[in-house]
Amino acid sequence: MKKSVFVFLLALIALVPNSVFASSNTGNFEEIVIFEQEEITDIDKIVERAIKGETDVNDFDFEVVPSVTEITTKDGLKNAIEPSLSKSDSKDINEEDFEVFKTTQKLKETQLSDGSIVTDYVTNAVVVYDERSSGTKTDGSYTVSGEVSIRWQQMNDGKIKWKVFSTKGSWSVLDTAFSLSNRKVHYGQVGLEACIYNDCNEVKSPTSNSYLYHAPTTWPWLSMFTGAASVSSNTSVNVNRGSSTFVFNVQIIKHGNSAVD
């Protein structure tokens, strides 16, 4: 008799959906993953994607600003001069010295328990700087390259909001005559309704040529349709050549007041 009851209970358990047990173990479901794909992290593939014009949102909202600051030593003092990127204003550093590649990938879409939809995106920028020794001709290998990525989230709960989730990046040089030092990363967000006094920002000093930093979870959601709203990541690194040095800067910034596809 006991054996038949035991068999009956096993059969009953087999008929109960697995989701019932998942619910009892974790309480109420807090989120449902609607969409998810693996992040592209290979720089060559990111560049290839950018060249082909492949992006999951309109990238005109994203501004990538590279620049180079020459540091020269005179009378034992360092004087930094940042030349304009305008062709007419700068003879030594021109827009043609930089190659800029940018693309955005949709990573994840999640429905929260209150019905809100949170979508994760990563916007990648790869900037290559060739130092021109003869005005219009490079030596065939780039001096330095930098990759900067912002992972940002968009929430739709009847209103469109957004915030920074993380930033990552790297620097590299091909010529062994060059070395890198004094690495800096400054990332954050700003909006009219929150973070207005630049309190949502972090400054980091990586000790290696790659980094990953997550934004504090206390940073608030911002209204995407506020013109003054933005999320950004600014990076700089000293490129050393013997006794001379220049600073390679890359800024990536997404402006508000625009819709996402």
Contact 78, 88 (CB under 8 A): no
For the chain, the distance separating the N- and C-terminal CA atoms, rounded to the nearest angstrom, is: 64
* pLDDT tens sequence across 58-99: 877 889 999 888 775 544 444 443 333 332 233 345 567 889
Higher-scoring residue by pLDDT: 43, 94: 43
* pLDDT tens sequence across 140-197: 567 889 999 999 999 999 988 999 999 999 999 988 888 999 999 999 999 887 888 7
Could you give the C-alpha distances from 202 to 31, 186, 196, 213, 215, in angstroms and in order?
A: 29, 6, 15, 9, 8
Contact 151, 119 (CB under 8 A): no
Distance CA 183, CA 181 (A): 6
Distance CA 123, CA 250 (A): 14
Smallest CA-to-CA distance from 189 within 154, 223, 150, 163 is with 163
Is residue 235 helix, strand or coil? Answer: strand
Distance CA 85, CA 186 (A): 22
* Mean pLDDT computed over 91-112: 83
DSSP codes joined into one string, 178-231:
-EEEEEEEEEEEE-SSSSTTS-SEEEE--SSSEEEEEPPTTSPPEETT-TT-EE
Position 230 pLDDT exceeds 50 = yes
**CB-CB neighbours of 5 under 10 Å:** 9
Q: Under 8 Å CB-to-CB from 102, ≥6 apart: which residues?
A: 50, 55, 59, 62, 64, 123, 124, 125, 126, 252
Token pair 């600014």: residue? 234
